[in-house]
Amino acid sequence: MAASDHTSIKHLFRSRKQTTKETQTHLYVETSQAMAGMLVAVDGHPLTAQQQQNELNRLYGLAGNPDALRKKRAREAQDEEHSLRILRAMPDAFRYEYAGVETGTQTVGGEGAQLVRLKFTPNASYAAPSRVEQVLEGMTGSLLIDVAQHRIACIDGTLFKEVSFGWGIIGRLDQGGHFHVEQANVGDGSWEITEMNLNVTGKLLLFKRLNLASKEVFGDFQRVPGNMTFAQGVDLLKTEKEKLAQSGGADPPGKFPQ
């Protein structure tokens, strides 16, 4: 929670997201205005020249549209607030059981870090204050905690029952849904998500089916100036994309090195 108040450290990084349809590689940069992201490869193949130009046109168009940029930042801020609300609720929403000590890795906590494993189950007396926290009432799983750094290195959760939002009218998550998120110190004292796996089904607004199945790996974190504007971020993404192309492609095999 304390770390969320310090947002001056920002990074350029890469992600590879695999779904049932395809694998996409993106470059991202955190800026003072919003996150800038550029698609650079699909299924390991670089975009065509026209597709690359379309990506740049989209990003520069966004950089030149202050209203759209504010709306993008507002959506990002809402997502961040939802995540913090979940985090605030966790001490009360679950009962915890000590399950041993493990050694961290490059992508989980950090190489050599001492991590405490806690198993968690729902606290029967917990009542979610809003639908944001309701998902916790049907979840069981485990955490890996870096006690020295006061950080969650990994959270693995499974829905052991169906969870409804707004009496089922707004939405529902099916029993058996699973998620797995890893975090690590990326080398400058700051922590970033290094892997996120989702496998969730359900229903939104009565009729729309929800089916999320993806694995996303994040890496190649590089520190950037904390006051970088969105337009400057787009310029940096363009330069980084060109560097990747010169070095042998946008999507090398394996997990991204730190």
pLDDT per residue as tens digits for the range 136-177? 989 999 999 999 999 999 999 999 988 876 545 567 788 999
Asked if 16 and 24 count as a contact pair (C-beta separation under 8 A), the reply is yes
User: Looking at residue 248, what is its pLDDT?
Assistant: 65
Contact 189, 165 (CB under 8 A): no
pLDDT at 253 over 60: no
Indicate if the pLDDT at residue 114 is higher than 70.
yes
Cα of 245 vs its chain's centroid, Å: 26
- Check the CA dihedral 115-117-185-43 and report its sign: positive
Q: Which residues contact 111 (CB under 8 A, 6 or more apart)?
A: 104, 105
In Å, how far are 18, 68, 146, 243 from 196, measured between CA atoms?
11, 28, 18, 26
- Give the whole-angstrom CA distance, residue 232 versus residue 254: 30
Query: Comparing 6-15, 27-36, 189-198, which segment has the lowest mean pLDDT?
Result: 6-15
240-255 average pLDDT score: 69
Least confident of 5-19, 27-41, 82-96: 5-19
* Residue 246, amino acid: Q
